[in-house]
Structure 1
Amino acid sequence: MHNVIENRFIRAGLFIVVFSWFIFTVYEFTRSAVNIGKFNFVVFLLDTTGTIGLAFRMAAGLMALLTISFFAAGRGLTEPETLTSLRWIILGEAVYLLALFPSGIIGLIIPNIGIVIEWGIPCIIESIILPFAFFKLFMELKPQHERGGALKWGLTAGTVYIFVFWLNNAGNWIYTVMEMGLAYLANYPLNILSFTLTVIGLFALALYMAKFSRELIKRGAVEEVDIQKVGVIATLLGLYFLAVYMMWILFGSVGGWSPWYQWFLGHNMDLWAVCLPIVGVPMTFYRRLS
């Protein structure tokens, strides 16, 4: 794994992705903070908890940026220093996800099946299962622990994350069809493509990640991680976000503004993932570039 970081293409890609993640989070935190208190009490409550969560993600992003900067500069860190940095990054992300729990509760109790699908279920799952996996990973990333446990919970968190991406985006597309009518899909081929990439494509990627993780967890050896497959997963995930975003850039809000565009462009905290191919592609061709 050390040799992976030594690869200059992967190192540069990681720096760009982490930098993008941090800057995007700073932007979303600022936008959220300045809007607190502008709406009713429920929105105020959700905005406040969400903003606090974004503050923790921002801190995690800063720690990640500082960590990768050492490697990008060719200095690197010792193993204990790297593990300590990773633990704080993971903890910050876990708290960010926990802050989504109130949104999940509100989304479940609103008497609207569309809101439950679009909002309630995804927020509940990502605010309970993901933090649990991250806290387990946090505990396993101690220098004295075997790496098998960290591998297990890291892969588990990664798999659940992709399933959450699918739940969030598929839920919003389904809600959009419920609100706008089936014609919003049937009359616009680009919407059919976006819907298919989201509901079927992301789900297929999540299943592939689950299969990859299961096989690797059984072996339990960090040294057996297939960097090329990790690169393929990261690239495909990033290309999904990039493809949907570019469709909007090139063709606008096909069929008119809808809950889908409101979600993807206005409330999506993961648009930074469009940068993932920058690190995913060199990982995919890792052996060839090393």
Structure 2
Amino acid sequence: MTTSVFLNNDRAMPLLGLGLYKTTDAVEVEDAIAAAVQNGYRLLDTASAYKNEEFVGCGIAKCGIPRKDLFITTKIWNNAQRLGDVEGAFQRSLDRLGLDYIDLYLIHWPVPGCFLNTWKDMEKILESGRALSIGVSNFEIRHLEELRRVSGIVPAVNQIECHPLCYPKELIEYCQANDIQVQAYAPLARGAYLDNDVLCVLGTKYAHTPAQIGLRWAVQKGISVIPKSVHPERIASNAGIFDFTIDQEDMDLLDTLNQNYHSSSIPEDLRDIVF
């Protein structure tokens, strides 16, 4: 069963990764990474805003997996975009992680008046070989269209919140039609659907947990998922999504659960801005 996807620059990216949002205890980060790689994870997702890149770097160094077999993602935060300090921000992330290159570097949010210039600077980082792919996060269709008007480099990834309660079908279809890989953060909606009746019934039907049903729903759509956890047993359980297939009628049923429910929120520095 397929466990990876190919990005638009022919690089493979795992369909399952470990999200490291708000994990800021050094031991906790290292233990989570150790548990993840033991359960077959090879993608680790962090960001400068998470304030844990240094700990992630230590976890990478200690995990026993060769660097070439890992896929590391990090992101540039809003203030660095406003300052025009893309190169500096990238280098600081690289230094904190203790790496020579990043597999995927993302614009964390489309800061108005900034993200087009940020993208131009990221193109230079891509050309330098220090980022093997570049992409975006939290971009809507209009932001992607703006990028397309100024750049010939299509984002490799658009990382968005996506799960059965938040299914932005139009955006996903746009990305897939334009060869932009969708990656779902908060794919468990931070627990919001784990007691949902439909997820529970399907969990019984397929002998998997509601969390596994939600994650499998996404990967069956070709969407990469990066569930966040620091608990070894949950990290292991979240990896158990490649040994079954959800029937199409049940996939369609899960699609109907969409409530445009967001478990994440817009950063404070963007809340008063229409973007």
Q: TM-score surpassing 0.5?
A: no
Q: TM-score, structure 2 length as denominator?
A: 0.29
- Return the TM-score normalized by structure 1: 0.28
